[in-house]
Chains A and B, each alone.
Chain A
Amino acid sequence: MKKLGLTIFLISLFTVIVVIVEKGTQNIVYGATSNSTSDIQLMARAINGEARGEPYEGQVAVGAVILNRVKSSQFPNTIAGVIYQSGAFTAVSDGQINHPIAENSTVYKAARDAMNGWDPTSGCIYYFNPATATNKWIWSRPVVKTIGKHKFCK
């Protein structure tokens, strides 16, 4: 009887673990597919993932870079295309982009300002954090401005 009890206990433990693992993967899919939201929400999410701790100006600047890329011939021509381009934003690679943003939050207002034409970067299409950037190539770009922790360049 003892053996049976133990086996049942172990089997249930096993099921719980499997359920947790399954749920984990399901959550990722859910987050990625459920955002049938507009461009501004998508941009707010990107800003949140990329520049949450930055001054307001730096948040508008990240939004402006996304829009400058849309306008540039060297990048895709839509906001979603630019944001989800391979390796373009770490907030996309690590899944922070799936974090929903409330409409009255600061990053949402920053996204709105960028959409309305405020561009603190004067037309930049790249930025990097000098403290963490590992890509040598990025240092060769002409820097226009430093806002908060980010250097913005052409």
Chain B
Amino acid sequence: MNKVKDWISRLKKGHMLSVIGVFLLIIIALGIILYQKQREARQVSENTYNMAFYELVDYVSNVETYLAKSVISTTPEQGAETLTNLWREANMAQTYLSRLPIESQELENTQKFLNQVSDYSYALSRKNIYDESLAQQDLDNLENLHNYSVELQNTLNQLSEDINNGRITWGELTKKGKVAFAQQVSTESKDGFSNLEENFHQYSGLIYDGAFSEHLTSAQPKGLTGENIDEEKAKQIAIDFIGQDKIKEISSLGVSENAIIISYTFSIQTNENENINISISQKGGHVIYMNYDREVTSEIISQEQADQIGKDFLTQKGFPNMKETYYLTQSGIMTINYAYNQNGVIMYPDLIKVKVALDNGEILGIETTGYLNNHVERDISKVKITKEQAKQTLNKKLNIESEGLAYIPTEWKTEILCYEFKGKVEDTEFLVYINAENGREEDILVIKDTPNGVLTM
């Protein structure tokens, strides 16, 4: 009892009451500051989401308008203009859609629709540039896409009303944690956006000449030849590829079932305790990739030597006639691109990449999917124009250093036989590709010498 009295009197002596008062003030002040900070932050993110949403509404409305125009346009000039606008508007709509605080799988079909409208209109506008009028199939596609865009626009208008009335708030959509509670309040907000996705339940995608065409997800690899093998056989191929004498232990990581190229993957421990992964295709037992990483501290091997090491390695592994095309050095490891060389014609789609360690020339990795997807012997007799004719199309300022024939890949997995001209304008190096069948200028690459190697842009 005495102790307590003593303590209280000591409190009084030390002005503890005012101390406690000041502490309370501090806590209140801090609370206000934190609250304001948090409100500011929330306001910033709400504003960002609102901006993204209203931009999306505008761009989708423009997509609808241009799709309507594209269906009734009759001249290639007007068609090209409309399709170019459509390409831009759909691309912007797609960009703003992905900035909304909604997880990707909730809107994947909406995203796909906008991406395909954008990409498809680009592909069609190229047709118009070459004065080819649109086929009936294309017009039907555009009309179909237009119907989807009308529905999308209607749903978005409904959503923007909900947002304006405060029925849907971004805060609810971004809420994390306390799952049960959050779900109860936000179903209305979530439902609003799933209506968006609902529009595309029937949408099956488009097949056309573009990077997002539906047929690309199921393209059959041309270079994947041979009979199916079992896991035991695949393991033997892996062991032979790495070299029995280097292997301490090999274990299976299973078979990849749902991939385009079904494969067996193995993890190999070397005598130096490095971990190598290697993947063998079920069909034909081809090596799809091999890869590992180790510290490379010195760089004593030159680019030419590394080129030769890579080429010898490829020949020994059953890939003769490969020509180096580009290289890149990073942390003492040089990655070299090789393309198949058929009687002097470079097949850029038949691509193999090899990683060489610059301290001792060891092969650290190989990647062959380009080769497996595309490699066949080509018929080069399609050449219709001469090299001299092709040269006529070139910019007169281009100082030609080398020339030849090459197959180049398109974004939609076809290939074009071209004359390849390498040359300089002032100090910049270019690669210009002229179609060997019709003389069109198909592509121009800028070669950039970076400190790490050569890059094409």
Q: Which residues of A are in contact with B by a Cβ distance under 8 Å? A: 2-3, 6-7, 10, 13-14, 17-18, 21, 25, 55-57, 60, 71-77, 81, 85-88, 103-104, 106, 108-110, 112-113, 116-120, 122-123, 137, 142-147, 153-154
Q: Are B105 and A110 in contact (CB under 8 A)?
A: no
Ranked nearest first, the 5 interchain pairs of A and B with the lowest CB-CB distance are A122-B259, A73-B212, A142-B258, A87-B103, A74-B108
Q: Are A113 and B365 in contact (CB under 8 A)?
A: yes
Which chain B residues lie closer than 8 Å to A119 at the CB level?
Answer: 289, 369
Cβ-based interface call for B434 (8 A): no
Q: How far is the CA of A147 from the CA of B265 in the complex (A)?
A: 10
Q: Are B26 and A122 in contact (CB under 8 A)?
A: no
Which chain B residues lie closer than 8 Å to A2 at the CB level?
Answer: 15
Q: Are B254 and A74 in contact (CB under 8 A)?
A: no
B317-325, B329-337, B416-424: which lies at the interface: B329-337
Pick the contact of B254: A7, A116, A146 (CB < 8 A). A146
Q: How far is the CB of B116 from chain A (nearest CB, A)?
A: 6
Q: How far is the CB of B16 from chain A (nearest CB, A)?
A: 10
Within 8 A of A (CB), among B38-74: none
Which chain B residues lie closer than 8 Å to A153 at the CB level?
Answer: 258
Q: Are A144 and B257 in contact (CB under 8 A)?
A: yes
Pick the contact of A57: B104, B257, B291 (CB < 8 A). B291
| Residue in chain A with minimal CB distance to B277 | A57
- 21 A–B contacts from the bound complex (CB under 8 Å): A3-B15, A7-B22, A10-B19, A17-B26, A18-B30, A55-B275, A57-B275, A60-B291, A72-B212, A73-B116, A74-B112, A76-B94, A76-B95, A76-B111, A77-B94, A85-B104, A109-B330, A116-B328, A117-B351, A145-B259, A153-B258
| Residue in chain A with minimal CB distance to B34 | A21
Q: Are B331 and A74 in contact (CB under 8 A)?
A: no
Q: Are A123 and B259 in contact (CB under 8 A)?
A: yes
Q: Are B111 and A86 in contact (CB under 8 A)?
A: no
Which chain A residues lie closer than 8 Å to B125 at the CB level?
Answer: none
Which chain B residues lie closer than 8 Å to A145 at the CB level?
Answer: 253-254, 256, 259, 265
Which chain B residues lie closer than 8 Å to A25 at the CB level?
Answer: 37
With A122-B263, A123-B259: A109-B293 Cβ-Cβ less than 8 Å: yes
Pick the contact of B258: A117, A120, A144 (CB < 8 A). A144
Pick the contact of B370: A14, A87, A110, A117 (CB < 8 A). A117
Given contacts A17-B30, A21-B30, A87-B104, 14 further A-B contacts (CB under 8 A): A3-B15, A3-B18, A57-B267, A71-B211, A74-B111, A75-B104, A86-B103, A88-B103, A110-B293, A113-B293, A117-B367, A137-B105, A142-B258, A145-B256
Q: How far is the CA of A86 from the CA of B37 in the complex (A)?
A: 22
By CB atoms of chain A within 10 A, which of B26, B116, B254 has the most? B26
Q: Are A14 and B26 in contact (CB under 8 A)?
A: yes
| Residue in chain A with minimal CB distance to B288 | A122
Cβ-based interface call for B353 (8 A): yes
Q: How far is the CB of B105 from chain A (nearest CB, A)?
A: 6
Cβ-based interface call for B102 (8 A): yes
Chain A binding site: helix, strand, loop or mixed by DSSP? mixed
Q: Are A116 and B258 in contact (CB under 8 A)?
A: no
| Residue in chain B with minimal CB distance to A14 | B26
Q: How far is the CB of A141 from chain B (nearest CB, A)?
A: 9
Q: How far is the CB of B411 from chain A (nearest CB, A)?
A: 10
By CB atoms of chain B within 10 A, which of A103, A108, A110, A116 has the most? A116
By CB atoms of chain B within 10 A, which of A74, A123, A143 has the most? A74
Q: Are A104 and B331 in contact (CB under 8 A)?
A: yes
Q: Are A10 and B26 in contact (CB under 8 A)?
A: yes
Q: How far is the CA of A57 from the CA of B364 in the complex (A)?
A: 13
Q: How far is the CB of A128 from chain B (nearest CB, A)?
A: 12
Which chain A residues lie closer than 8 Å to B355 at the CB level?
Answer: 113
Q: Are B22 and A86 in contact (CB under 8 A)?
A: no
**B 1-41 binary contact with A (CB < 8 Å = 1; else 0):** 00000000000000100110011001001100110010000
Which chain B residues lie closer than 8 Å to A147 at the CB level?
Answer: 253
Cβ-based interface call for B261 (8 A): yes
Q: Are B260 and A122 in contact (CB under 8 A)?
A: yes
Q: How far is the CB of A33 from chain B (nearest CB, A)?
A: 13
Q: Are B365 and A73 in contact (CB under 8 A)?
A: no
Pick the contact of A56: B254, B261, B293, B370 (CB < 8 A). B293
Q: Are B101 and A87 in contact (CB under 8 A)?
A: yes
Q: How far is the CA of A106 from the CA of B279 in the complex (A)?
A: 21
Pick the contact of B353: A17, A88, A116 (CB < 8 A). A116
Q: How far is the CA of A142 from the CA of B287 in the complex (A)?
A: 24
| Residue in chain B with minimal CB distance to A110 | B293
Q: Are A86 and B259 in contact (CB under 8 A)?
A: no
Cβ-based interface call for B99 (8 A): yes
Q: How far is the CA of A25 from the CA of B99 in the complex (A)?
A: 23
By CB atoms of chain B within 10 A, which of A10, A25, A77 has the most? A77
Which chain A residues lie closer than 8 Å to B99 at the CB level?
Answer: 86
Which chain B residues lie closer than 8 Å to A81 at the CB level?
Answer: 95, 98
Q: How far is the CA of A17 from the CA of B33 in the complex (A)?
A: 11
**B 242-277 binary contact with A (CB < 8 Å = 1; else 0):** 000000000001101111110101010000000101
Cβ-based interface call for B150 (8 A): no
Q: How far is the CB of A83 from chain B (nearest CB, A)?
A: 11
Which chain B residues lie closer than 8 Å to A142 at the CB level?
Answer: 257-258
Cβ-based interface call for B115 (8 A): yes
Q: How far is the CA of A6 from the CA of B416 in the complex (A)?
A: 83
Which chain A residues lie closer than 8 Å to B33 at the CB level?
Answer: 18, 21
